[in-house]
């Protein structure tokens, strides 16, 4: 099974990973967020991506790292949505 390539763009010191949800990583401060359904939620895990990876060296390693971090963020976002739906009952 082929994995869908995760989109990533850089805006200054921030990386925006994925489409929905989005993992927003501040490379300088590590104040990271998950944006799900238009709302920002803190993401308290460190996202460690070296400068050489971000410069395009070792693309396969970068892709593996993005898959790992984005998978975690998606699981957290899904859990948040389930918890919010449960609270509304």
Sketch the domain layout of the chain as residue ranges.
8-88
pTM: 0.85
In 1-89, where does DSSP find H-type helix? 51-54, 59-88
Picking from 36, 32, 34, 35, the residue whose alpha carbon sits closest to that of residue 48 is: 32
* Tokens (6 digits) for 37: 């359904």
What's the pLDDT tens digit per position in 19-78?
Answer: 999 999 999 999 999 999 889 999 999 998 888 888 888 888 999 999 999 999 999 999
Strand order in the sheet with 22-26: 8-11, 14-17, 22-26, 32-36, 39-43
């Amino acid at each position: 099974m082929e994995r869908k390539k995760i989109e990533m763009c850089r805006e200054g010191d921030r990386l925006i990973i994925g489409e929905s949800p989005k993992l927003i990583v501040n490379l300088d401060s590590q104040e990271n967020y998950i944006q799900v359904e238009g709302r920002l939620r803190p993401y308290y895990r460190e996202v460690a991506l070296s400068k050489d990876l971000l410069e395009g060296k070792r693309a396969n390693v970068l892709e593996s790292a993005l898959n790992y971090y984005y998978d975690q963020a998606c699981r957290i976002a899904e859990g948040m949505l389930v918890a919010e739906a449960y609270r509304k009952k």
